Amino acid sequence: MRLFGLIGYPLEHSFSPRYFAEKFFREGIAGAEYRLFPLERIEEFPDLLATEPALCGLNVTIPYKEQIQPYVHGLSPAAKAIGAVNTIRFERSSSGLWLEGHNTDWIGFAEHIAPQLPESAENALVLGTGGSAKAVHYAFSQLGLKSFSVSRRPGPDVDFTYGELSPAIVRDHTVIVNCTPLGMHPAVHGFPDLPYAALGPGHLLYDLVYNPDPTVFLIKGRQQGAATSSGLGMLYGQAEAAWRIWNGLSETEEEAGADPQEDDSQG
């Protein structure tokens, strides 16, 4: 049996087990299983490897997309550029186990948002600074858009705080992506603090949150005539890209190979 799974914490509301179970059934993939592996601390990762010798690939979700990096032996070019890993490919040989970190979040996001972008889109606001936000920034760089980071607090990688987002800034940035958990089930009434009255039909609001759909963030955008999209399509895209990587199939970001990590890798 080939075993795949997801690490993170908590994992109760993950869509991945159902998605892959349906994929295995639909495509007649035998001898494969997908399971959840909730880790309260990233330091538990080596124990997981020791107790699950059938593992062939893992997805990584919050809060470990950045913390997992010291535990893999190599990074794909995209994962290295983004600074976050959401997919791990396992390679077993007589010399041992090699773990390769990849990022398919950017692939799923880019594929899903590209056909939805306003024709005049040049600038985007990315709400949040975590691993998913980093993948979104990278995707925009590949799509030819300038992206600017928004956070509650100022910092070296923050372009605007929420308090600095004037109506003029919002009007000038016609794509806005929520990469925060605001509005996610069960706290469904939350939403990013934006001057929503500055939105209009030329805007696209994209929410990585997919439960509920729509979120309050998207509803507020629709009320101003903006186009909206949830992150469910991104999730499907990143999952399919992960499956291709696990099975050694060609992937745009993988063609250049993976860069080895330093010798202190704990994988």
Catalytic residue among 65, 80, 134, 146: 65
- Amino acid present at 119: E
CA distance 136 to 229: 14
User: Nearest Cα to 177, choosing from 141, 140, 225, 222?
Assistant: 140
CA distance 88 to 149: 27
User: Nearest Cα to 5, choosing from 54, 46, 69?
Assistant: 54
Distances (CA, A) of 44 to 84, 88, 195, 266: 19, 16, 43, 11
* Cβ–Cβ under 8 Å, residues 79 and 85: yes
Q: In a 3-state reduction of DSSP, which class is residue 203? A: coil
Distances (CA, A) of 257 to 79, 93, 217, 225: 11, 18, 38, 44
175-213 burial, b for 16+ CB within 10 Å, e for fewer?
bbbbbbebbbeeeeeebbebebebbeeebbbbbbbbeee
146 given a catalytic annotation? no
User: Nearest Cα to 2, choosing from 37, 35, 32?
Assistant: 32
CA distance 6 to 261: 22
If phi over 0 gives left and psi between -120 and 50 gives alpha, with beta otherwise, what is residue 266? alpha
**Which residues are part of the catalytic machinery?**
65
